[in-house]
Structure 1
Amino acid sequence: MEEKNAVAALAALAQPVRLRVFRALVGAGPEGMTPGALAAMLDVAGSTLSFHLKELTHSGLVRQERDGRHLVYRAALEPMSELMDYLAAHCCLGAGCEEITAASCRNC
C-alpha cells in the first residue's frame, strides 16, 4: 500500500460516525448492508450517513453495489488488510510480532 492510500484510509476512519459505519460493515460480512439498515442500526440520519458512506467509498475501504433498486455497501476487506499490513510492516523493529510478547513490548 502506498503512503497516500494509507493516509486517505486513516483519514476516512478518523471520524466517529465513519468508524462506526465501517465496523458495522465489517461485522455484516459479505452480505453487506443497505443504507436504511445502517441508519437504523447506528441511529444516524440518512443524509448524514450518505455523506459518510461517500467518504468511506472514496477512501477505498467501502464498496457500493446496486442490487435491483437497492444499494448495498460492503467493507472492502482487501484494502483493510493492506492497511493493517502497512501499519505493521515495521512492527517490533523487524523482529516479527509473533516473536514479541506483550510483556516484552511494554518498553517499545
Structure 2
Amino acid sequence: MDSNTTIRALAALAQEHRLAAFRLLVQAGEEGLPAGAIAEAVGAPASSMSFHLAQLSHAGLIRQRRQSRSLIYSADYAAMGGLMAYLTENCCGGQSCAPAASCETPNDTERNAA
C-alpha cells in the first residue's frame, strides 16, 4: 500500500457512519450484509448510506456484489491488512514489539504494580 491509497482509506474512515459501517462489515465476515441492514444498524438513512458505502468502496476498503436484487457489501480484509501494515511498518524502530506492554491501559499498569 502506498501513501495515496492510505490517505484515501483514512479519509473514507474519517466519518462516523462510514467508520461504523466498516467496523460492522469487518464483524459480518465474508458473507457481508445488504445495504439496508447496514443503514439500519448504523442509524443512517438508506440514501446517505449508499453514498457512504460508495466512498468506502472507492477507497478500496469494501467490496460489493449483487445477490438477486440486493447489493451485498463485505470488508476487503486484504485492504484492511495492507492499511494496518502500512501504518505499523516502522513500529518500534524496527525492533520486535511487545504487544502486551503496548496495549496496557493505565488501570492495567496500576493493577500489575500492586
Same fold (TM over 0.5): yes
**SS of the counterpart of 1:53?**
helix
Q: Residue in 2 aligned with 1:77?
A: 77
The alignment-based identity, stated in percent, is: 45
Matched AA of 2:27: G
Residue 37 (structure 2) pairs with residue 24 (structure 1) = no
Q: Which runs of 5+ in 1 are unaligned?
A: 104-108
CA gap of 1:45–1:99, structure 2 versus 1, over 3 A, is closer
1:1-108 pair list within 5 angstroms = 1-98=1-98, 101-102=101-102
CA displacement, residues 21-63 of structure 1 (integer Å, 9 cap, x when unaligned): 0000001101100011111111210011011000000000010
Structure 2, gaps ≥5 residues long: 104-114
- Kept in 2: contact 1:21–1:42 (CA 8 A): yes
* Equivalent AA in structure 2 for residue 45 of structure 1: P
| TM-score (norm. length: structure 1) | 0.89
Distance across 2 between alignment mates of 1:57 and 1:20: 14
CA distance in 1, matches of 2:21, 2:81: 17
Of stretches 35-44 and 6-15 in structure 1, the one that deviates more from structure 2 is 35-44
Structural RMSD (CA): 1.6
Q: Residues of 2 paired with 1:4 and 1:66: CA distance?
A: 29
- What residue identity is the alignment partner of 1:83? L
Change (3 A) 1:46 1:6: same
Count the aligned residue pairs.
103
How far apart in 2 are the matches of 1:99 and 1:83? 18
